[in-house]
Amino acid sequence: AQSVTQPDIHITVSEGASLELRCNYSYGATPYLFWYVQSPGQGLQLLLKYFSGDTLVQGIKGFEAEFKRSQSSFNLRKPSVHWSDAAEYFCAVGRDNYGQNFVFGPGTRLSVLP
């Protein structure tokens, strides 16, 4: 069975600073990897996903993530954070592209200082 850890419960960065959110997964085969964002009072929005191919994946809102098989990681990055990026971020791993088979990480809450 797959599992996901997000080591950072809460991260605070200043607006304009770079961001990296960590995600480590455990899965025996090639995983399907996802990052979602949840703003307060909202549902989840898919930022990006990785199935195969280029290990650097571009997503929406200026986010990117890099798949590193040797480290079982799929870290999310953004070069310059905006105040509107303050939200909760969830990493998910699945054996396919179907959400019913996902395991979500516990989430990382991002705060942005003006």
Partner 1 sequence: KAGVTQTPRYLIKTRGQQVTLSCSPISGHRSVSWYQQTPGQGLQFLFEYFSETQRNKGNFPGRFSGRQFSNSRSEMNVSTLELGDSALYLCASSLAGNEQYFGPGTRLTVT
> Residue 102 CB, nearest distance to partner 1 (Å)?
7
Q: Which of 19, 29, 44, 7 is nearest to 93 (CA)?
A: 29
> Residue 17 CB, nearest distance to partner 1 (Å)?
27
Find tokens 């480290």 and name the residue.
Answer: 71
Binding mask of the shown chain, residues 46 to 65, with x at each position contacting partner 1 by CB under 8 A: x-------------------
Residue closer to partner 1 (CB basis): 80 or 84: 84
Q: Which of 84, 87, 82, 8 is nearest to 40 (CA)?
A: 87
Contact 19, 77 (CB under 8 A): yes
Q: Which residues bind partner 1 (CB under 8 A)?
A: 41-46, 90, 96-102, 104-107
